[in-house]
Amino acid sequence: MNKLKIAIQKSGRLSEKSLELLRECGINFPDFKSKLKNSATNFPLEILFLRDDDIPKYVEQNIVDIGIIGENEVLEQDKNINVIKKLGFAKCRLSLAVTNDSSCEDLSYFKGKKIATSYPNILAKFFEKEGFVPEITEISGSVEIAPSIGLADAIADLVSSGGTLLHNGLKEVFEVLKSEAVMVSNPNLKPEVLEILEKLLFRIQAVLNSRENKYILLNAPTKSLPDIIKALPGIKSPTVLPLADPEWSSIHSVVRESDFWEVIDELKKYGAEGILVIPIEKMVL
Ligand SMILES: Nc1ncnc2c1ncn2[C@@H]1O[C@H](COP(=O)(O)OP(=O)(O)OP(=O)(O)O)[C@@H](O)[C@H]1O
Ligand SMILES: O=P(O)(O)OC[C@H]1O[C@H](OP(=O)(O)OP(=O)(O)O)[C@H](O)[C@@H]1O
Ligand SMILES: [Mg+2]
């Protein structure tokens, strides 16, 4: 039987969220990662647990068909692989940071400086556009320690909360790129494997849609219905149901998480009451 082979980070920032995504797609697999190659029990999928840095190479060589890694790793390694879906987790940015006492106004500050990073290729390309490339020293982790031990003048590393920079006396000065987890694929998959991938992507999209949206129910004065309907950017148009009291109606709709609070403010302005917000389990459009 044909199977789709996926590589997932064994342990680290991407690991749990990648497995959670597969589980939410209804895919069951034995729950232990010490067995580095596992098969799903109810979907034609084989899961390999690997170091994230190795995943682009394995996808390029078609040892696996697809993988989940950070966009940062895709750009750094520049292998012959395709990004086929952004997955919306492990959001972070690659930023330049200097010691708190440095006065860094613009990028020319880095002329003649030494920068420690795990992303030397991305950083060199970034500075080539500026017309100069500072000295770059590659280290594979704990990058934030470099200025305090005299290894470099500045760093370029991944930042999300900013806590690690803060605890190491550094300040973020320029963003080099934004990143999130992505699914990558070998560009030449066999049709029978592509067919399985399409099925998986369909399920993933339903999960991502549900994460980005909320189902809302509310009661509103019937006379305000036109305003309320205008304020609700539903999938098609909201469901309107009469209540026992004809002066009131019940309205159901789907609202994007990102627009949520503005929409609620609008609805309240038009007299909406008893607003219930419900997470969506899956959403097939
Ligand atoms: N602070 C962060 N917030 C959000 N996402 C992050 C953060 N740091 C890293 N990431 C993302 O998670 C990916 C994996 O990061 P992690 O630190 O687990 O990798 P690693 O130490 O290289 O692991 P491995 O042992 O597999 O080589 C990164 O490539 C990046 O895309
Ligand atoms: O802005 P923050 O929320 O503090 O996150 C930033 C830190 O997260 C990543 O390292 P990670 O913790 O994954 O450890 P690693 O060095 O082992 O990769 C990154 O390399 C930073 O050090
Ligand atoms: Mg790694």
Return the domain boundaries, the chain: 4-90+181-189, 92-179, 213-279
Number of other CB atoms surrounding residue 160 within 10 Å: 12
| Structure token digits, residue 239 | 């469901």
How far is the C-alpha of 19 from the C-alpha of 207, rounded, in Å? Answer: 13
Nearest residue (by CA) to ligand 1, atom 29, is 70
Question: Cβ(14) to ligand 1 under 6 A?
Answer: yes
User: Are 50 and 58 within 8 A, CB to CB?
Assistant: yes
Q: Which atom from ligand 1 is nearest to the alpha carbon of 70? A: 31
How far is the C-alpha of 252 from the C-alpha of 243, rounded, in Å? Answer: 13
Q: Is 4-90+181-189 a domain of CATH 3.40.190.10?
A: yes
Q: Can you state the angle between helices 191-212 and 15-24, rounded to 10 degrees?
A: 100
CATH number of 213-279: 3.30.70.120
- pLDDT tens track of the chain, all 285 residues? 899 999 999 999 999 999 999 999 999 998 766 788 999 999 999 999 999 999 999 999 999 999 999 999 999 999 999 999 999 999 999 999 999 999 999 999 999 999 999 999 999 999 999 999 999 999 999 999 999 999 999 999 999 999 999 999 999 999 999 999 999 999 999 999 999 999 999 999 999 999 999 999 999 999 999 999 998 876 678 899 999 999 999 999 999 988 889 999 999 999 999 999 999 999 998
How far is the C-alpha of 195 from the C-alpha of 236, rounded, in Å? Answer: 30
Looking at residue 259, its pLDDT comes to 87
Distance 68 CA to ligand 1 centre (A): 12
Burial class (CB in 10 A: 0-12, 13-18, 19+), 38: middle
Are both 4-90+181-189 and 92-179 of the same fold?
Answer: yes
This prediction's pTM: 0.92
CATH number of 92-179: 3.40.190.10
Question: Cβ(72) to ligand 1 under 6 A?
Answer: yes
Residues with CB under 6 A from ligand 2: 13, 141-142, 144, 157-164
